């Protein structure tokens, strides 16, 4: 089935900033995709093209929209089911190492919309169509990792570390797991109100609370209390995303006090020994390789590379060779095409790593990543708190997928 029409427009993401949405048509079939945007972005990510003009404070994406429209003549007639062919053509047309000519946001909008249109041409749910592209051995419903306390760039308070998550790693199904998360979230809300007042339950970019605390221990104590009070001790565990690149300068990590690289390794080990932490993402600055290696060797838990890896096969190979981490955070907009994102996941899984599919802080109502997580069978999805429509839509999509799959549904409990 050939592509017959391409459209693009500027829409708003969950932070009120512009992003790009793309439509791909193949005859009577239409696929639409909206591209997310990050707040704390790695320096090695593919380039997100912004206008840099007065409107929207320089964050407009009209240039990216125009680039998609100008590509229409080159895309019409292409086979909408040839995902790799489409993605490789877009990469070649751009011709830059980081997709800075067309913009990774423009390229990804096309790439995702092509996949969604192809799934309709094939008369398959998106997750089943994506499964045919991934090389995975099975589809699985992922464990949700939900950011319920926000710090860093997501909140604007004194808490330097960015995300404190809860994960129902021992639930029996996705629906049961999201129930555990929602119940714990509301218990946490009550604890925060009682301790800090109603003004402390304002939420950050990803729906997590931002209480007036300034240490990771204070955040982790709140999570521990909420989990226990909700009755999920031993079933719901804790994960962290310090996003350490955001508080690293002059060879020091600046939190409530300053830490050297060696001191940070020991600090994390203290937290791991004290709290039920199963995963830590970006514990160090994105090019601070030796502490990554040391913590991965010592911790005995999942150490996830986000800014370290930026979903880039070259960075993943470097980290595999150096043993800097043992899991990939997969963000499709970090690399810019679906084909490259799948290759990054495949490289990670084939080398014994875990993979966690992830949203961005500037999200849309597009649920593409929920289907992708199921198709990869990777077992983990990070999509924010069970709050705000751009987060809950991903979780609700997974509930529907689990219901649709019936006996075939497998939940990736740990």
Residues with catalytic function: 206, 331
How far is the C-alpha of 124 from the C-alpha of 375, rounded, in Å? 12
First to last CA, the chain: 41
Separation of alpha carbons 399 and 3, rounded Å: 32
Backbone phi and psi for residue 75, each to the nearest 5 degrees, phi listed first: -100, -30
Q: What are phi and psi of 19, to 5 degrees?
A: -145, 180
143 bridge partner residues: 380
Token couple for 402 = 């689990």
Q: Are 395 and 386 in contact (CB under 8 A)?
A: yes
C-alpha distance from residue 411 to each of 144, 192, 275, 343, 395 (Å): 11, 31, 25, 23, 13
Beta bridge partners of 12: 18
Other beta carbons within 10 Å of 234:
10
The β-bridge relationship of strands 29-34 and 18-26 is antiparallel
């Amino acid at each position: 089935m050939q592509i017959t029409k391409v459209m693009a427009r500027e829409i708003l993401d969950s932070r009120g900033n512009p992003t790009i949405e793309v439509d791909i048509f193949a005859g009577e079939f239409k696929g639409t995709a909206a591209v997310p945007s990050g707040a704390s972005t790695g320096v090695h990510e593919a380039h997100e093209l912004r206008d840099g003009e007065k409107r929207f404070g320089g964050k407009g994406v009209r240039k990216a929209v125009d680039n998609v429209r100008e590509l229409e003549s080159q895309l019409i007639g292409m086979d909408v089911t040839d995902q790799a062919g489409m993605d490789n053509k877009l990469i070649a047309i751009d011709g830059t190492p980081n997709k800075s000519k067309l913009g990774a946001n423009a390229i990804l909008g096309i790439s995702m919309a092509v996949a969604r249109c192809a799934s309709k041409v094939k008369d398959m749910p998106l997750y089943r169509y994506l499964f045919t592209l991934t090389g995975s051995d099975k589809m699985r419903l992922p464990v949700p990792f939900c950011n319920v306390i926000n710090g860093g760039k997501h909140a604007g308070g004194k808490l330097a570390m960015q995300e404190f998550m809860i994960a129902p790693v021992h639930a029996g199904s996705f629906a049961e797991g999201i129930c555990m998360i929602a119940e714990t979230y509301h218990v946490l809300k009550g604890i925060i109100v009682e301790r800090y007042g109603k003004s402390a339950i304002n939420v950050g970019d990803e729906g997590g609370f931002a209480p007036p605390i300034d240490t990771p221990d204070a955040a982790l104590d709140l999570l521990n209390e909420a989990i226990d009070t909700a009755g999920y001790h031993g079933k719901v565990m804790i994960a962290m995303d310090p996003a350490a690149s955001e508080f690293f300068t002059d060879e020091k990590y600046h939190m409530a006090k300053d830490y050297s690289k060696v001191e940070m390794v020991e600090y994390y080990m203290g937290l791991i020994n004290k709290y039920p932490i199963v995963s830590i993402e970006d514990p160090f600055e994105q090019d601070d390789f030796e502490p990554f290696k040391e913590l991965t060797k010592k911790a005995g838990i999942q150490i996830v590379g986000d800014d370290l890896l930026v979903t880039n096969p070259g960075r993943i190979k470097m980290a595999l060779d150096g043993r800097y981490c043992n899991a990939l955070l997969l963000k499709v907009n970090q690399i810019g095409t679906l084909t490259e994102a799948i290759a990054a996941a495949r490289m990670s899984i084939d080398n014994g790593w875990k993979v966690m599919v992830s949203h961005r802080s500037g999200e849309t109502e597009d649920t593409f990543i929920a289907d992708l997580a199921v198709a990869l069978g990777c077992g983990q999805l990070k999509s924010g708190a069970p709050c705000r429509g751009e987060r809950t839509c991903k979780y609700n999509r997974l509930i529907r997928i689990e219901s649709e799959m019936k006996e075939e549904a497998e939940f990736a409990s740990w």
